[in-house]
């Protein structure tokens, strides 16, 4: 099923001579807090939890998360500032807004120390910063990471997640005036891991932010990305790729808040699913605020279902509070292999198994080419090839 439409709610557009109250259920009305007691344990009826199998993530709802954090290894150019901040200095790290759901607030309440990675003012990195988190525990744990790009700086930060973990994580990303920052987060956990990540992004005046999420592993992985443009001229691009296997639950929720004028956002997430009870969820919320004149935004989610028994839920939402924008829209599509593409390849003598691989590669190719980090792109293509080999073996056994 495909959709390509916009739902507009006009509010406070005083320049057009009308006003109205913000509608009930507006994404912006969701409560936020740094205090764990302010955000209760969900029961599954809440909008933000209705697709999530709570029994598989409930360990991360606890008031206390006492397990060991994944081990952190860092590789960074000498010009990058690296420091460790303890939880006693937590107030100084309230950078980009308060937590919005239960896992976000339990993560905030339980981390013990955090790595702060900062690209200094005016510095342009030739090589990426690489942060590798390796889990080796089944105890529920919390972690925190801060990535900052100072004024007029540019660089790439790659965050890799491997091993086994039950992990609630906060990632704060701050891009200062006229900075250009790319953050890549890869999730390659083992098949029994649980990971709830909350990425909060603040893009300042004329900042350029590219945020890329790649989800391939884990039993349950839920990544919530909150990008706010509170100063004029910011440009945020959110890209995502997931390959969901049998029994895996991969969930990606995004909130893009246009709060200032002349900002641009683009969202593109693509996923492939295979195997019984493979389940992906993508929810994209975009809010164009009453003062966000000149906004230009578009979000797209596409899913390719490779086998029977897999399910993809896709929910794009667009809320508009003023009538003076450049453009806004969204699209969602979920389907099986394109029979015409397969027929074309088969008619040219390409065996069916190879034809199917070519279709999947083509499905992801446009997105992968946008990543712009050669080391990540090469590794990602290797992982996709491994996933396609799983499909081929499953078909041989069927």
The 10s digit of each residue's pLDDT in 122-141 is 999 999 999 999 999 999 99
Dmax (CA) of the chain: 66
Structure tokens at 366: 């446009």
CA dist 356 and 135 (Å) reads 34
The 10s digit of each residue's pLDDT in 137-193 is 999 999 999 999 999 999 999 999 999 999 999 999 999 999 999 999 999 999 999
The 10s digit of each residue's pLDDT in 229-274 is 999 999 999 999 999 999 999 999 999 999 999 999 999 999 999 9
**pLDDT value of position 179:** 97
CA 337 to chain centroid, in Å, comes to: 25
Asked if residue 236 lies in contact with residue 256, where contact means CB atoms within 8 angstroms, the answer is yes
Higher pLDDT, 21 or 157: 157
Q: Is the confidence at residue 352, as pLDDT, over 60? A: yes
Mean pLDDT of 80-94: 77
* Count of Cβ atoms closer than 10 Å to residue 324 Cβ: 13
Higher pLDDT, 20 or 48: 48
The 10s digit of each residue's pLDDT in 1-13 is 333 333 333 232 2
**pLDDT value of position 10:** 28
CA dist 89 and 77 (Å) reads 26
Q: CA separation (Å) from 198 to 30, 90, 97, 144, 305?
A: 15, 17, 12, 10, 27
**pLDDT value of position 40:** 93
Q: Which of 83-97, 110-124, 178-192 has the lowest mean pLDDT?
A: 83-97
Higher pLDDT, 243 or 368: 243
Q: Is the confidence at residue 104, as pLDDT, over 60? A: yes
pLDDT-derived band of residue 339, with 50, 70 and 90 as boundaries? low
The 10s digit of each residue's pLDDT in 293-330 is 999 999 999 999 988 899 999 999 999 999 899 999 98
Residue with tokens 């199917």: 356
CA dist 225 and 101 (Å) reads 12
The 10s digit of each residue's pLDDT in 192-225 is 999 999 999 999 999 999 999 999 999 999 999 9
**pTM of the predicted model, to two decimals?**
0.88
**pLDDT value of position 375:** 76
**pLDDT value of position 285:** 94
Q: Is the confidence at residue 17, as pLDDT, over 70? A: no
Helix 339-347 / helix 352-369 crossing angle, nearest 10 deg: 120
């Amino acid at each position: 099923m495909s959709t390509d439409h916009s739902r507009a709610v006009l509010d406070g557009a005083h320049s057009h001579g009308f006003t109205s109250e913000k509608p009930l259920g507006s994404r912006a009305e969701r409560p936020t807090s740094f205090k764990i007691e302010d955000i209760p344990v969900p029961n599954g009826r809440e909008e933000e939890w209705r697709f999530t199998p709570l029994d598989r993530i409930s360990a991360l709802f606890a008031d206390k998360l006492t397990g060991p954090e994944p081990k952190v290894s860092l590789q960074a150019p000498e010009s990058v500032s690296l420091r460790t901040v303890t939880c006693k200095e937590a107030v100084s790290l309230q950078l980009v807004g308060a937590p919005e759901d239960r896992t976000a607030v339990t993560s905030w309440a339980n981390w013990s120390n955090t790595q702060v990675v900062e690209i200094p003012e005016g510095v342009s990195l030739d090589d990426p910063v690489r942060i590798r988190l390796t889990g080796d525990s089944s105890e529920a744990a919390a972690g925190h990471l801060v990535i900052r790009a100072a004024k007029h700086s540019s660089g790439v930060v790659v965050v890799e997640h491997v091993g086994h973990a039950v992990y609630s994580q906060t990632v704060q990303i701050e891009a200062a005036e006229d900075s250009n920052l790319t953050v890549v987060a890869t999730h390659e956990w083992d098949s029994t891991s649980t990971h709830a990540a909350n990425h909060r992004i603040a893009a300042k005046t004329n900042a350029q932010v590219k945020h890329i999420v790649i989800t391939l592993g884990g039993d349950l992985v839920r990544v919530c990305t909150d990008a706010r443009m509170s100063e004029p001229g910011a440009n945020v691009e959110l890209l995502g790729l997931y390959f969901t296997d049998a029994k895996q639950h991969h969930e990606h929720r995004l909130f893009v808040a246009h709060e200032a004028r002349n900002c641009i956002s683009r969202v593109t997430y693509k996923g492939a699913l295979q195997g019984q009870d493979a389940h992906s969820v993508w929810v994209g919320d975009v809010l164009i605020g009453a003062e966000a004149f000149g906004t230009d935004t578009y979000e797209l989610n596409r899913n390719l279902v490779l086998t029977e028994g897999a399910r993809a839920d896709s929910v794009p939402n667009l809320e508009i509070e003023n009538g003076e924008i450049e453009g806004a829209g969204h699209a969602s599509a979920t389907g099986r292999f394109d029979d015409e593409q397969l027929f074309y390849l088969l008619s040219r003598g390409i065996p069916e198994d190879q034809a199917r691989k070519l279709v999947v590669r083509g499905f992801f190719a446009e997105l992968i080419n946008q990543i712009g980090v050669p080391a990540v792109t090469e590794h990602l293509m290797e992982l996709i090839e491994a996933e396609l080999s799983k499909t081929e073996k499953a078909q041989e056994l069927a």
